[in-house]
Amino acid sequence: MVGSKEAYQLHAFFFPLMAHGHLIPAIAMARLFSSRGFKVTIITTPLNARLFSHTIDGDKQLGLDISFQLIQFPSEEAGLPQGCENASSIHNFSDVAPKFFKALDLLQQPFENLLQEHLPDFVVADMFFPWVTDVAAKFGIPRLIFHGTGFFSLCVSDSLIRYNPHGNIKSETERFVLPGLPDQIELMRSQLPDLQKIPSELGKLFERVGESEGRSYGVLVNSFYELEPGYVDHYRKIMGRKAWHIGPVSLRNRDITDKEQRHGCLSWLDSKKPNSVLYVCFGSMAPFTAQQLLEIAMGLEASGQPFIWVLRLKGEEAEQRSRMPDGFEERIEGRGLIIRDWAPQVLILDHPAVGGFMTHCGWNSTMESVSAGVAKITWPMFAEQFHNEKLVTQVLKVGVSVGAQDYQEVVGEKRVVKREDIKKVVQQLMVGGEEAEQLRSRARELKEMARTVFEEGGSSYADLTALIEEMRLHPRPRV
């Protein structure tokens, strides 16, 4: 060790999952640690590093000690096509998921070699690398887990595993209460993934993840105390897990790049009245059929409300599925804007013209809209999105549900949400009376809370400071 414990620069490894929904917050988290004086090394593959190289180069120019360490993604060894390094770029992910997760396991030896070479003070690794806990323990290195979601959904998942409340329910649409939580939360079997209903290989992976979490040093969560206090306390005190809330990390992503400044949608928004535009975006993996996309288009048109719709579909049929009804784009010209590519979501949500967000309830989108103070229309599809919907609509009361009832990971013939229901919920949020204003008012209150948590004395600043002090006192890694 050089000098005193106070003078020593802590070195952190960040090892994010190769999927946009996990990479984006993990990189933001790594940058946050770097801004607090850490040496940060991000372990990822060449194609994934390229996505963030501009941002990290900018941080280095500001004098931050942050860099990438590249490892090769074993696509071919796992039976994946060459160059397949990111889950979000795979059209039929459910079909190849076992191969992708096999590839993640094959990263163990190269990662262990890097740990032995660099001996960082601690490792922040995604939940989908359960083996990191054991590999880090060999060298006496604390392993922190990043789930990519909030405390609420972690508590819901624990209730489902611990009590199995859906076990004896035969009907897919019968509601059941989740025991042991601070609020009365109900779900339906149709909103649960198959792995929670029938044994599967993916279910075994999640068992490994849970077991690994139990033996890890603790958990980093992209959230803040004021957002879900009952669930932060439940996770720590009732479930007995060590955890630090250090979000919303999207506030680290507010630096406007040239690409964002040039995006035409921001000029389009400038021409609209405050709170008049609905922003519609379901992330990069939305499994919509052509029929469902038609219903969305007709529902948005019938609502009469201005909207921006980000339509990002993958695969061979994507172009066919995203074809709009005849004359639709001409009829909505000036009132609606369709973007079939990347869009600067953080800046769109922050724009004064945006008064609502129709969302799949991914945790990143949830946190970004919380930070922007925007009320939501919730349309969950898979992962923990149905859990997040309950937080948004029942606990925080900053959103209304479109009525989606089916867990849907792949494009398939599930129940279609009809245009009449879409029109109704859009008008309810955008031109509704007192109820809509209450949703907006609560959303604005959360925004004000979110903007203070990184100030000195703020809850996330304090939690990160506590973690830094704990890591300084931890014994140094050993070979």
Average pLDDT over residues 455-461: 95
Tell me the per-residue pLDDT of 184-236, one tens digit each, with 9 for 90 and over. 999 999 999 888 888 888 889 999 999 999 999 999 999 999 999 999 999 99
Q: Is the peptide bond before 248 cis (omega within 30 degrees of 0)?
A: yes
pLDDT of residue 262: 62
pLDDT confidence bin for 1, thresholds 50/70/90: very low
Tell me if 249 sits within 8 A of 146, measured CB to CB: no
Place of tokens 């740990």: 115
Asked whether residue 302 carries a pLDDT value surpassing 70, the answer given is yes
Considering the candidates 59, 121, 126, 158, report the single residue annotated as catalytic. 126
Tell me the per-residue pLDDT of 166-179, one tens digit each, with 9 for 90 and over. 999 999 999 999 99
Asked whether residue 160 carries a pLDDT value surpassing 90, the answer given is yes
- Measured between alpha carbons, how far is 253 from 370 in angstroms, rounded to an integer? 14
Asked whether residue 241 carries a pLDDT value surpassing 70, the answer given is yes
Tell me if 359 sits within 8 A of 281, measured CB to CB: yes
Task: Supply the mean pLDDT for the chain.
Answer: 92
Average pLDDT over residues 301-325: 82
Q: Give domain limits for the chain.
A: 11-247+453-473, 259-450
Active site residue 22: yes
pLDDT of residue 91: 72
Average pLDDT over residues 30-42: 96
pLDDT confidence bin for 5, thresholds 50/70/90: very low
Tell me if 133 sits within 8 A of 143, measured CB to CB: yes
CATH number of 259-450: 3.40.50.2000
Spatial CB neighbours of 241, under 8 Å, sequence gap ≥ 6: 213, 218, 219, 235
- The reply to whether 11-247+453-473 and 259-450 are identical in fold is yes
The secondary structure element, H or E, covering residue 11 is strand 11-15
Active site residue 350: no
pLDDT confidence bin for 410, thresholds 50/70/90: confident
pLDDT confidence bin for 136, thresholds 50/70/90: very high
Task: Give the whole-number percent of the chain exceeding pLDDT 90.
Answer: 81
**Furthest CA-CA distance within the chain:** 71
CATH number of 11-247+453-473: 3.40.50.2000
* Higher pLDDT pick, 62 / 289: 62
Task: Record the tokens describing residue 6, joined without a space.
Answer: 């106070």
pLDDT of residue 125: 98
- Measured between alpha carbons, how far is 21 from 96 in angstroms, rounded to an integer? 18
pLDDT of residue 256: 45
Average pLDDT over residues 420-425: 98
